[in-house]
Amino acid sequence: MRIATRSLKYGFPIARTLGNCLSAATLARLVGLLGEATVIDMLYTSRLIEADEALRIGLVNEVVEDHEAVVARSDALARQIAGHAPLTLRVTKELLRRLRHRLPVVDDDDLIGMVYTSADFKEGMAAFLEKRKPNWQGR
């Protein structure tokens, strides 16, 4: 369960900031959660989404006003859930975990290594730390 504040901004601006990439497992999880078209939009454009859109696309379950409201709502949910059958909850949680991991594992070590050892990633990190726009070279 995910609760966000109205000030939420969420996304993956890696194509315009660090020049790194997400793992195949992370992409699979995001596509399963948000759908391929939304993930492509967010990754290719580096667009950040706000709370109302996050709620609409199913990224979060609820939007509340502020941090204090998140804490209060989380406490209320915890109390509610604590009153339910523990075995039912435990089995449901485990079955959801198993379903989430049923996708075949994609070997992405070569691709992850290529990106994280690239000149572009080094440039992206430097630009981020120096608060400037990166100069991408595709290497």
- Does residue 10 fall inside a structural domain? yes
Backbone phi and psi for residue 103, each to the nearest 5 degrees, phi listed first: -65, 145
The distance of Cα 81 from the centroid of its chain, to the nearest Å, equals: 25
| Domain region containing 101 | 3-130
pTM: 0.75
- Does residue 137 fall inside a structural domain? no
- We report the CATH number of the domain holding residue 7 as 3.90.226.10
- Does residue 135 fall inside a structural domain? no
Residue 23: what pLDDT?
Answer: 92
User: What is the number of domains present in the chain?
Assistant: 1
Parallel, antiparallel or unpaired: strands 3-5 and 62-64: parallel
- Does residue 65 fall inside a structural domain? yes
Tell me: the pLDDT tens digits for 10-68? Answer: 999 999 988 999 999 899 889 989 999 999 999 999 999 999 999 999 999 999 999 99
- In terms of Cα–Cα distance, which of 3, 139, 136, 137 is closest to 69? 3
> Is residue 19 a contact partner of residue 65, using CB atoms and an 8 Å limit?
no
- Does residue 126 fall inside a structural domain? yes
91 C-beta neighbours (distance < 10 Å), count = 11
